[in-house]
Structure 1
Amino acid sequence: MQQHEVVEIRATGNTPESVAARMQEVLDEHDAGGWSLQTVQPIIYNSSTTGYLLLVFQREVGGR
């Protein structure tokens, strides 16, 4: 069985460097917890180019 978690990272109003640093923190935290990144989905909000990034993680949980 797969477990999923979605993490939101705000891009609007932040420098690319700070967004990348936050993404690295989230990736490292989730890797330590056994999560694998499944996809990254940009979300446009209030007509901005990219308001948020959604990082979708998955991991295996208990047997059937």
Structure 2
Amino acid sequence: MQQHHVVEVRATGYTPEAVTEKMQEVLDEHDAQGWSLDSIQPIIYNSSTTGYLILVFVRPRNQAG
């Protein structure tokens, strides 16, 4: 059985470089806690371009962190 964790990364109003840096921080933090990235889903908010990126992480349920 797996445990899931969902994180949002805001993209609207930020440069691609800033979004990339934030995503790298989130990925590194979760990797250190034993999470693996399962999927990324863009979310369009208020008819704009991609407003948020939703990152879904998974890890075995018995793993603490």
Report the CA distance between 1:9 and its aligned residue.
Answer: 0.4
AA paired with 2:55? Answer: L
In structure 1, stretches of 5+ residues that fail to align are none
Distance 2:42 2:51 in 1: 7
SS of the aligned residue for 1:51 comes to: strand
**1-structure distance, mates of 2:50, 2:61:** 33
Q: Report how far residue 61 of structure 1 moved.
A: 1.8
How many residues end up aligned between the 2 structures? 62
Query: 1:8 is matched with which residue?
Result: 8
| Alpha-carbon offset, residue 21 of structure 1 | 0.1
Give the match for residue 59 of structure 1: 59
Q: How does 1:1-64 map to 2 (within 5 A)?
A: 1-62=1-62
State how far apart, in whole Å, the 2-side matches of 1:10 and 1:31 are. Answer: 20
Q: Structure 1 length normalisation: TM-score?
A: 0.94
The amino acid of 1:25's aligned partner reads E
Normalised by the length of structure 2, the TM-score is 0.93
Q: Over the residues paired in the alignment, what is the CA RMSD in angstroms?
A: 0.5
